Amino acid sequence: MHSDHTVGLTSTWCRPLYCSPLTARLLHRRLQVPMCWIRPLEVGQSHVLGEEVTVTVTLLDSNHCPGSVMFLFEGAFGTILYTGDFRYSSSMQGEPALRGRHIDRLYLDNTHCHPEQALPSRQLATRQAAHLIRTHPQHHVVIGVYSLGKETLLVDLAMEFSTWVVVSPWRLEQMRLLELPDVFTSEEGAGWIRAVDVAEIRWDTLVTWNTLHPTIAILPTGRPVKVTHPKIHTIPYSDHSSFLELCEFVKWLKPCSVIPIVKGGTCQTYFQKYLSSAPQALPDFQIPKPVQESVQQENKRKALEPLHLLRRAAHHSVPRGVVYESPEESTENSEELTGVRAPQQNCCESAFSSKEGHTCCHTDKEKGQEALSGEQPGAASAVSQAPAPDEHFPTGFAEQYLLTPLNVLKQNSSQKFDKLVEDFFRKGETS
């Protein structure tokens, strides 16, 4: 759940989000996304979504950061594997959902898809970090990390050097949420390794730290970075697959086609020789008719929504579909995660959905349509293009609901709620 995948996800979010149970916890606890919109799906199990038109989705561990998963979609459109951010591991070949499976389309994390760019395993990179630390005795060590990811490196180094890793209270809470080994503390001075936000590794901070105590900084990253101070060291520790790993994965999986998910990538040529020549279920990738119809209906419905919602959507334009800016570069920082404290206004909470939390503003049928929408292949990541509702709508709606006695509301079914929403919108159009 890196921040380049969570743009727009705040307490005001009101569309279903499908993710792993761990990401579900983070979405709610760190970004305040209302629980009723979060649909955690067990990893490794197949889930059938939709009613009239169904799609089977299987979440698979993507070995990238805690909670990250790949999405395997199967339906009338064929079989699609969307890796999201992932680091290939040969253990993926033991995955029953992938073994011997015909894949029509592979959406691939091509972050490091450059043959000239070698990248060691994370274990080897950890050893490089340990060696660097050993060659700087009497030094404090500051490691720059994003809000999520590289926790294993921190744990391994803490174990190796028998020291606590000092982190901010915010990060400590996160480490506890992730149920990581007890090697983290927020007590300053309790350990000589510190993990800080990557943005804190700068020339001026290194100067300041070194006036207090000899200090080196480590940046674990697979990308080339500009080093601004001699005591900043990069370690090629990456949560994305190396070029060789990508080749091994595609060669083993033999998909019919490969689509890079990082903008500007042209990795297809490297994989051409590994592709299956078997006919694709849907070579031109047309959306099945019933899905098209449901999407058209949904678009029509959207067109009827009050103008202020649409305007708001324009303000919140985020990358659409599966193509997004290169991850990690400058976006995977904690600012977006920590800075989000939007007011608790959303149709879900104002309507205080049932305890099960799945009956707020959408029926199951609509859930299926969401999952099937051909416009949202990015459903695999947390980014979506739903507009954030305007403040007026949920507030007014909440007021209307708050004035309704609880025993009356308890009798309301989700369908009734949907109708009330529609009526409310209609009123808005005529007024």
CB of 23 to Zn ion, least distance (A): 12
The window from 85-93, 182-190, 216-224, 282-290 that contacts Zn ion (CB under 5 A) reads 85-93
CB of 2 to Zn ion, least distance (A): 3
Rounded Cα distance between 205 and 218, Å, is: 13
For Zn ion, give the closer residue by CB, 2 or 25: 2
CB of 101 to Zn ion, least distance (A): 25
Site string for Zn ion, 301-320 (x = CB under 5 A): --------------------
For Zn ion, give the closer residue by CB, 75 or 327: 327
Q: Which long-range contacts (CB under 8 A, 24 or more apart) does 278-283 make?
A: 278/102, 280/78, 280/104, 280/105, 280/256, 281/77, 281/78, 281/79, 281/104, 282/76, 282/77, 282/78, 282/104, 283/256
CB of 84 to Zn ion, least distance (A): 8
CB of 324 to Zn ion, least distance (A): 10
Q: Tell me which residues in 221-250 interact with Zn ion (CB under 5 A).
A: none
For Zn ion, give the closer residue by CB, 146 or 164: 146
Question: Could you tell me the CA-to-CA distances from 393 to 12, 150, 255, 350, 415 in Å, in that order?
Answer: 11, 41, 45, 11, 19
CB of 86 to Zn ion, least distance (A): 9
For Zn ion, give the closer residue by CB, 111 or 350: 111
For Zn ion, give the closer residue by CB, 153 or 291: 153
Give one DSSP letter per residue of 138-205, joined into a string.
T-EEEEEE-SSS-HHHHHHHHHHHT--EE--HHHHHHHHHTT--S-EE--TTS-SEEEEEGGG-SHHH
The residue within the footprint of Zn ion, chosen from 74, 85, 336, 370 (CB under 5 A), is 85
For Zn ion, give the closer residue by CB, 327 or 368: 327
Rounded Cα distance between 306 and 390, Å, is: 10
For Zn ion, give the closer residue by CB, 11 or 147: 147
Is 2 a binder of Zn ion (CB under 5 A)?
Answer: yes
Which strands make up the sheet holding 55-61, listed edge to edge?
46-49, 55-61, 69-75, 78-82, 105-108, 258-260
* Residues 361 and 421 sit within 8 Å (Cβ to Cβ): yes
Nearest 5 degrees, angle CA 33-CA 35-CA 39? 105
The window from 170-178, 230-238, 327-335, 405-413 that contacts Zn ion (CB under 5 A) reads 327-335
The window from 228-236, 299-307, 321-329, 348-356 that contacts Zn ion (CB under 5 A) reads 321-329
Question: Which residues of this protein are in contact with Zn ion, per CB under 5 A?
Answer: 2, 85, 327
